[in-house]
Structure 1
Amino acid sequence: MPTIDYYFATLSPYCYLAGTRLEEVAAKHGATINYKPFDIIAAFGRTGGTAPADRHPARIEYRAQELPRQAKKLGMPFNLKPAHWPTNGAPAAYAFIAAQEAGGGDLGALAHAITRACWAEQKDIAEDAVIKACLREAGFDPALADSGLLVGAETYARNLEEAVEAGAFGAPFYVVGSERFWGQDRIEDVDLHLQGKL
């Protein structure tokens, strides 16, 4: 059974645009997804990237065109400048890790609910109420937002180290064996790879 290591960031608009397409590809191939939420801003600093606010104007302008284009192409609601961004993505990541440990719900739906809350619903994913609503929507106990903070912090930090070691420098980032795929627009390539065509 193939395994996909999925490095994602709760604050990433591109992870939001990925929707649940990776989960559909994994189901098609009987693949397991290892969800690894990590600190994307710290990863930029470790892998030669630049935080969005510090990028050259040309890159900022391109991002401002490309994100709405991709959202339109995918038929997804999208706010280029959400009311609560940047915010602290760690609490949502810790809750995700707690849900991962507890089991019983849909992790793909949870990842999408968290990113959608930020990029389509104008909600602050650092707020307890927002995180609990996302947990509930994905079939998890909302109380998980209040538990496992130490384990969440440790796993979050470890995921960053694993991401850097695996060669992940952005999000979403998918690793299948020795093959690496960067970006929501590469999910089709993950599918083709699992078919043995790439």
Structure 2
Amino acid sequence: MPHIDYYFATLSPYTYLAGHRFEDVAAKHGATVTYKPLDVIALFGRTGGTPPKDRHINRIEYRAQELVRQAKKYDMPFNLKPAHWPTNAAPSSYAIIAAQNAGGGDMGKLVHTILRAVWAEEKDIAQDDVIKACLSEAGFDPTLADSGLLTGAETYAANLEEAIDKGVFGAPFYIVDNDQRFWGQDKIEDLDAHLSGKL
């Protein structure tokens, strides 16, 4: 049974655009998944990347076009300039970590619900009420938003260090247990093909 470490950021539009396709592929192949939210801006700084606001205008303009195209391609509601972006990603990330440790709900749905709140629903995922609503929608106890904050902070920081050690430089990033790495929501089909033995 394959295992996939899934590195992502709760503010990443590309993680949002992955939708449920990654979870569908994992389920198709009976793969287990460990969800590893991290600070993608810190990741950029440590691996030679540039935060979106500091990129050359050519890259900024292309990103704006490509995000809109990808959202249309997958028929996903999308706001290129959401009201609450950027915001503090730590509280939502801690909640995901707490939910994974507690179990009992749908992790893929939780991640997508949080990202949808940012990119389609104009909500601030740094706010407790938003995080609790996302936890509830995905079948988790909403009080998880108030618990395990120290563990969440420690794990969140450890995820960043682990990601760098394993070759991660962006989000979403998928690493199969044989060290095959896939970067970006547009590589989910390649991940599927790899798990099928075709790549």
* Matching of residues 91-170 of structure 1 within 5 Å: 91-170=91-170
CA distance in 2, matches of 1:44, 1:13: 15
Per-residue CA deviations over 1:162-182 (Å, capped at 9, x if unaligned) read 110111100000001221100
CA distance in 1, matches of 2:103, 2:32: 14
Per-residue CA deviations over 1:142-173 (Å, capped at 9, x if unaligned) read 00000000000000000001110111100000
CA distance in 2, matches of 1:112, 1:74: 14
Q: Equivalent residue of 2:4, what SS? A: strand
- Output the TM-score relative to the length of structure 1: 0.99
1:11 shift after superposition: 0.4
Q: Equivalent residue of 1:35, what SS? A: strand
CA distance in 2, matches of 1:63, 1:160: 24
Corresponding residue for residue 84 of structure 1? 84
Q: Equivalent residue of 2:7, what SS? A: strand
Corresponding residue for residue 190 of structure 1? 191
Corresponding residue for residue 47 of structure 2? 47
Q: CA RMSD in A?
A: 0.5
User: What is the percentage of aligned positions where both structures have the same residue?
Assistant: 76
Q: Equivalent residue of 1:4, what SS? A: strand
| One-letter amino acid of the structure 2 residue matched with residue 167 of structure 1 | G
Q: Equivalent residue of 2:182, what SS? A: strand
1:34 shift after superposition: 1.0
| One-letter amino acid of the structure 1 residue matched with residue 73 of structure 2 | K
The runs of at least 4 aligned residues of structure 1 exceeding 3 Å deviation read none
CA distance in 1, matches of 2:30, 2:101: 21
For structure 2, the residue ranges without an aligned partner over 5 or more in a row are none
For structure 1, the residue ranges without an aligned partner over 5 or more in a row are none
CA distance in 2, matches of 1:178, 1:139: 32
CA distance in 2, matches of 1:190, 1:4: 10
Q: How many residues align?
A: 198
Per-residue CA deviations over 1:50-88 (Å, capped at 9, x if unaligned) read 011111110000011000000000000000000000100
| One-letter amino acid of the structure 1 residue matched with residue 97 of structure 2 | I
Q: Equivalent residue of 1:75, what SS? A: coil
CA distance in 2, matches of 1:31, 1:98: 21
